[in-house]
Amino acid sequence: MVIGSIVVDIVVNDYSEPTIPLTVISVIFAGPFEETLFFGIPFYLTGNNLVTLAGGLVWASLHILNTPTVQVSSLAYLTWLFVKGWFAIVSHSIWNLIFFAAGCTNGEFPCRIINEKDYLIDIAYVSTSAVFILLTYLLFLRYQNKMVSKSIK
């Protein structure tokens, strides 16, 4: 990913990081949103490891453009393949919260629990994450039923 960051700096003239308003709500719910969208839903929808890997590659590519830190996407990929995606969701949210707290206390960005100016953004994070988690859970149940029916045959 470091190489990707260097490539982006070379290819995109005058690149500046997007300014996404950070709040405790947004960083906590980014975990469920990203994990389910890029790993859980593709895996349980298709059951294909390569589709899950492709989702991980898209996720890592987007992080290269949006964050200056190196992310470890292989952990998320492996946890979803071993049907432990819920661990990936929780650990991703904790990881985000730790780095939010560090950046907040160092003065890199304001420390906010919610977005006072436009609280609808935080509501969108929470509701979208809830929908994605529910969809992932329903797809997980379907995936388990398929595995059970295959083992019976």
In-domain check, residue 77: yes
User: Domains in the chain: how many in total?
Assistant: 1
Residue with tokens 């969701």: 89
In-domain check, residue 123: yes
**Higher pLDDT pick, 149 / 25:** 25
Average pLDDT, the chain: 80
pLDDT tens per residue, range 21-46:
788 998 999 889 988 988 888 988 99
Residue with tokens 């906590």: 28
In-domain check, residue 89: yes
In-domain check, residue 71: yes
What is the reported pLDDT for 19?
64
- Give residue 136's domain range: 20-143
pLDDT tens per residue, range 84-115:
788 888 888 998 899 889 988 988 888 888 88
What is the reported pLDDT for 149?
82
Question: Could you tell me the pTM of the whole model?
Answer: 0.72
Cα–Cα distance between 52 and 78 in angstroms, integer? Answer: 10
47: burial class by Cβ within 10 Å (0-12, 13-18, 19+)? Answer: middle
Q: Write the CA distances from 31 to 116, 134, 151, integer angstroms.
A: 22, 14, 33
